[in-house]
Copies of this chain bind each other. A is one copy, B any other.
Amino acid sequence: MRELTVDLGERSYHIYIGEGLLNEADTYFSKHGISNKSPLLIITDTNIAPLHLAFLEERLQGGGFKAFSAVVPSGEGSKSLSMLEELIAKALDAGLDRKSTIVALGGGVVGDLAGFVAASFMRGVKFVQIPTTILAHDSSVGGKVAVNHPKAKNIIGAFHQPEFVLYDLNLLQTLPPREVRSGLSEVVKHGLIWDASFVQWCEDHADRLLALDADSLGYALHNGCSVKASVVSQDERENGLRAILNLGHTIGHAIEAVGGYNGLQHGEAIAIGMVGSAKLGVRYGAPEEVYTTTKRVLAKCELPTALPEHFDVDAIMEAMMHDKKFAEGTMVFIVPSAIGEVEIKSDVPVAWVREIVEELKLEVEQL
């Protein structure tokens, strides 16, 4: 079992990572002062519920907790205010009170949604995260919770830190392969911004990670969480440093937006975005290996590293403009200066970004 602390003063919390942790869910809940007098509500989605919900409920009920559950449709669409309203109704019907706890059993969607329920129900109750995806190593650190508005993603939310995070690696065994790859993209990102040796390790262990080898997964998630925790504990409310977590995301978000429903997954889009950022880094004088290594490690994780032919450069630039990070022909960009090191550049010429996006289309996939 691996363990780490997200250091946020009085809001600090622990992340436990290991196989079979859910077997002792009740022990963890007791140890962290979760009330067994007030009912608690587990929120999960329609894919995860049939696989893992009953087991968690049994463990908690067996330990004397009054566990209720709510299952939302899987997918980004559940991160909405109307789903919030439904879940608050469930919480009230189950008799939850100010000493109750909301438990997220799921990936980033469930985590963000359940987290906002916890942040806003009775102006804030306790929150526990039980992540079931690799990507959720990212969303379970930092306390950002939110739902979407028809006009913008993640625009209605809060900062609400969990009591603790219980990362049972066994839950990941049922994850569809495309979700595995997509999650690894953020793992690699955490290496690229902070820790060159971890990038090397990812390259060496990509096969084992893709095969969901528990020990490799545990190490990767521990390192990914640690990097994010270091960044977040220096900048909880996103005033500066936290921006480096957006490596690859400016181009990536635009690719996602343009791709629409049949497009690329988040992790896939940011993989291409990170290759773009690496190219930009090289333009700014970083050694060529920043680009070659970035591309190689992502390819080993079976992530795309080139922009598929059918994507339109104009549409991608348009989507980026929409993101409002532009100011008079320049934009803010997270740019690698070496593997494991990035800089926040606030005056990247838009023209350069456009050239990079064009190059990404000509890029040859490395397999």
Taking CB atoms and an 8 Å cut-off, the chain A residues in 184-219 that contact chain B are: none
Interface stretch of the complex, out of A51-59, A67-75, A151-159: A151-159
Residues of B within 8 A of A124 (CB): 158-159, 237
Instruction: Tell yes or no: A344 within 8 A of B by CB.
Output: no
Q: Which of B92, B119, B149 contacts A88 (CB 8 A)?
A: B149
Q: What interface size band does chain A fall in? A: 20 to 34
Residue A324 CB within 8 A of the other chain: yes
CB-CB under 8 A from A158, the residues of chain B are 119-120, 123-124, 158
Chain B hits for A88, CB < 8 A: 149, 151, 155-156
Q: A120-B157, A159-B124 are in contact. Are A149 and B92 (CB under 8 A)?
A: yes
CB pair A149 B81 closer than 8 Å: no
- Chain B proximity of A26: nearest CB distance (Å): 25
Selected contact of A156 from candidates B121, B146, B149, B159, CB within 8 Å: B121
A16 → chain B closest CB, angstroms: 26
Whether B89 pairs with A120 at a CB distance below 8 angstroms is: no
Chain B residues whose CB sits within 8 angstroms of the CB of A155 once the complex forms: 88, 92, 121-122
The answer to the question of A84 belonging to the interface, with a C-beta cut-off of 8 Å to chain B, is yes
* Separation of A157 and B151 alpha carbons in the complex (Å): 22
Q: Which of B85, B144, B149, B151 contacts A149 (CB 8 A)?
A: B85
What 1/0 mask marks residues of chain A from 154 to 186 whose CB sits below 8 Å from any chain B CB? 011111000000000000000000000000000
Q: Which of A265-283 contact B (CB under 8 A)?
A: none
Distance to closest chain B CB from A318 (angstroms): 17
Asked whether, in the complex, the Cβ of A97 is within 8 Å of the Cβ of B324, the reply is: yes
Q: Select from chain B the residue with minimum beta-carbon distance to A144.
A: B123
Specify the chain B residue showing the minimal Cβ separation from A239.
B98
Complex Cα spacing A158 to B158, Å: 9
Q: CA A153 – CA B150 in complex, angstroms? A: 25
Give the docked Cα–Cα distance between A123 and B152 (Å).
Answer: 13
Which residues 209-262 in A have Cβ within 8 Å of B in the complex? Answer: 237
Contacts of A121 in B (CB 8 A): 155-156
Contact check, A123 vs B146: say whether CB atoms are below 8 A apart: yes
- Given the complex of chains A and B, what is the CA–CA distance between A155 and B84 in angstroms? 12
Please tell me if the beta carbons of A85 and B81 are within 8 angstroms of each other in the complex.
Answer: yes
Q: Please report the C-alpha to C-alpha distance between residue A120 and residue B324 in the assembled complex, in whole angstroms.
A: 20
Q: How far is the CB of A295 from chain B (nearest CB, A)?
A: 33
Distance (whole angstroms) from the CB of A331 to the closest CB of chain B: 15
- Closest B residue to A123 by CB, please name it: B157
Complex CA distance for A144 and B98, rounded to whole angstroms: 15
Chain B, residue nearest A157 (CB): B123
Distance A88 CA – B123 CA, assembled complex (angstroms): 19
Residues in B with CB closer than 8 Å to A151 are 88-89, 92-93
Whether B97 lies near A149 (C-beta < 8 A) is no
Q: Which residues of B contact A122 (CB under 8 A)?
A: 155, 157
Interchain Cβ contacts under 8 Å between A and B, 11 examples = A81-B81, A81-B85, A85-B149, A88-B149, A88-B151, A92-B152, A92-B155, A97-B324, A120-B120, A123-B146, A123-B158
**6 closest A-B pairs (Cβ-Cβ)?**
A123-B157, A120-B156, A81-B81, A92-B151, A88-B149, A81-B85
Supplied contacts A121-B155, A123-B158, 9 more A-B pairs, CB within 8 Å:
A81-B81, A81-B82, A84-B156, A92-B149, A92-B152, A97-B324, A119-B158, A122-B155, A123-B146
